[in-house]
Amino acid sequence: MSYLLLANSSSVSWYLKVTVVIDCGSEESMGSVVATLPRFGVASKAMVHCTMSSVTQVYLPTITLLDDEHRVRTWWPRGYGSQPLYDLTVTYKDTQTFEISTKTIRIGFREVKLVQEQITGGLSFYYKVNDVAIFMKGANWIPADAFEDRVTDDVIRNILQSSADANMNIVRNWGGGIYQHDSFYSIADELGLLIWQEFMFACDYYPADEQFLDSVRKEVTHQIQRLQYHPSVLIWSGNNEIESSVSQNWYGVKNLTLYKENYVKLFIDTIRSTVLGLDSSRPFVSSSPSDGVQTEKEGWISSNPNSDFYGDVHYYNYTMDCLDIRGYPQPRFASEYGLQSLPRFQTLSSVTVKDDWSYFSPIMMHRQHHGSGNEQMLNQTKMHFKIPNSADPLKHFKDMLYLTQASQAICIKAESEHYRRLRSVMNEGRGHTMGAIYWQLNSIWPAPTWSSLEYGGRWKMLHYYAKDFFSPIIISPFEFNNTLYIFAVSDLLQNVELKLTINIWSWQMIDDPVTTITMWTKVPAQSSVKVWQKDIDNLFKLSSCKDRSHCVVTFSSVPDGEIDTPDIPTNVFYFTSLADAQLLNPNIQILNISLIPFNEFLITLKSTALAPFVWLESGDIPGRFSDNGFLITQQFTQIVFYCWQPSISVDDLKQALTVSSLYDVYTEPEFTDTVSVRN
């Protein structure tokens, strides 16, 4: 059963076209098909004749829902409104045997457009939902386990809920994986997460003989009929990276013309034509990355499918300094980008033994499925941190796990904020970026991967950072030519006035910044604007900061109070590599843990000095923290632990909870028990 929604913007009405696919269980059957929307008291009916020899499609008369009569509530992506879902029930009744078959699905009312209009340098590429431009924020989904029978509805819900909790509004179901379980799409409907749905073709050349094409038609038809009623499904995409592989001849084939012809036969003549024949309620793109309309003009294989001026891009660079924004593209839409990190020790130790616990051990290299991946992580980490030199092999290994996560977090933060700042910026035809979907969301097994969630669903440091850099409003700093620039970025649908506070801190002090600068700034709806800039040398003179290694700066903001806005996260800018920062021992203690409602725990920390990358671990107790990997600037800090397991007591969490910071990686512990909990 599927349906097609057509919105009539002039009269604010919805036209519901229901298609029912009937697989007849007897040689011949006559009956009636009735579709009902109980919430609105409307129905559509048709008579049908079906036979066992073929599948019967029934097109029911269009149902019209008028706004002034039916008051249809529109389905919105997360962050833009609610997600009302309505039961649509179809009943088939055999007029001879009176046998009845019924199916109910939940549908939402929403309209989707992909906007590709002429702008400086090329074409725009962004999505409108219900006529509102949406900056897409999310990550790429891969299969959640190497053994699909272990992927339960609870596993899927945990990953998607973590996406929603990190302020994402989209998940791209990558074409190198699988068509996901029904619950994946139903949960996305509930949470307001849009799905970029690819057909399962990726990074390779496929045949184009008629037998294979016929099989593909059946596959595509089945998936569209199965999934098209979900309001979360934003777009159909033909494949992952195959246009690029053909255009640039990745595999060095000799008869490239043949492969180009086969590409068009499969993805355009077969998949695209099948999609357009079955579903006109959402857009189709032939590949990702691709140049969209420009690709079509070039015969469906663009000369540069990864262009900044059209469509979407995939971008990976494992050798650049990730904090130098000059190395990043300025695309219309970034649908893949990422760097690797290692999971926490508890996750790796569950599948390894003591002899494996070193960074370049044979088992660590066996689990690394990206060429030179461990070397790349190490080199990127060296750019920003001291490499640990502990004499204790286990501590050294744990420290490296921590540092790869810290490095990945700051790198993807820098790139993601770069794309968000570009939503209102054009540089020589580049920019006007309207999407940031990093690679990748989840892990298929315990190993070094690009994910922000570990195998099992634990949050890496990156996922905590994503919750901040995907917030509806962010204050985003970056350095260029020795000047510090500050941008405010807002996804809100209304203008907002913000009070911006810039605090410059000395690593030698806590509680009190050495300099505070405050100002009011206006941020237009759905925009990014530069709100402040300062030469860094002059900033140091203003603040009496000795040099880059002695200070750090934070940016916090609050709205004027006239409109209800979500919390705006505090951002931080490090003037130098953390290898050079003049850190003091923060002596972080866990002062208290108390149980609060909804299976949550309030944790109070005490510190004697500023502490970067403060990291809390809950041992074997599953859950997440309200913040993690953060900078402590106050003597007392409170964090909430959201426990995912019932019946956990305060004493249980006291036994499991640990806290560390970057200082602990740089130094050997003075004594074994470095963390205490006071009652």
Listed in sequence order, the DSSP H helices in 192-302 are 210-227, 242-247, 256-263, 273-278, 293-297
Are 76 and 129 in contact by the 8 Å Cβ rule? The answer is yes
In angstroms, what CA-CA distances link 151 with 18, 148, 157, 444, 564? Answer: 31, 5, 10, 10, 38
Helix/strand/coil for 300: coil
> What is d(CA 115, CA 527) in angstroms, rounded to the nearest whole number?
17
> What is d(CA 658, CA 589) in angstroms, rounded to the nearest whole number?
9
Annotated catalytic residue: which of 111, 198, 243, 336? 336
> What is d(CA 32, CA 664) in angstroms, rounded to the nearest whole number?
72
Q: 606 phi and psi, to 5 degrees?
A: -125, 135
- DSSP letter for each residue of 364-405: HHHT--STTHHHHHHHHHHTTSPPP--SSHHHHHHHHHHHHH
336 carries an active-site annotation: yes
Nearest in space to 237 (alpha carbons), one of 435, 399, 489, 459: 435
Helix 373-382 vs helix 393-421: crossing angle, to nearest 10:
80
**194-198, strands of its sheet edge to edge:** 284-285, 233-237, 194-198, 170-173, 136-141, 435-438, 334-337, 313-315
Helix/strand/coil for 570: coil
Is residue 440 reached through a cis peptide bond, with omega within 30 degrees of 0 on the bond before it? yes
Strands (E), 38-125: 42-51, 55-59, 63-66, 86-94, 100-107, 112-115, 118-119, 122-123
Token pair listed for 437: 């979907």
3-state secondary structure 464-503: HHHHHHCCCEEEEEEEECCEEEEEEEECCCCCEEEEEEEE
Token pair listed for 475: 């204050």
99 carries an active-site annotation: no
Token pair listed for 461: 């440091």
Annotated catalytic residue: which of 241, 243, 417, 454? 241
Residue tagged 């801190």 (tokens):
505
> What is d(CA 355, CA 360) in angstroms, rounded to the nearest whole number?
11
List residues bridging with 483 in a β-sheet: 480, 535
Are 139 and 168 in contact by the 8 Å Cβ rule? The answer is yes
Within 10 Å of residue 670's Cβ, how many Cβ atoms? 7
Are 421 and 476 in contact by the 8 Å Cβ rule? The answer is yes
Helix/strand/coil for 149: helix
End-to-end C-alpha distance for the chain, whole angstroms: 59
Strands (E), 422-561: 426-427, 430-431, 435-438, 473-480, 483-490, 496-506, 515-523, 527-535, 551-559
> What is d(CA 47, CA 190) in angstroms, rounded to the nearest whole number?
33
3-state secondary structure 630-676: EEECCCEEEEEEEECCCCCCHHHHHHHCEEECHHHHHCCCCCCCCCC
Active-site positions read 241, 336
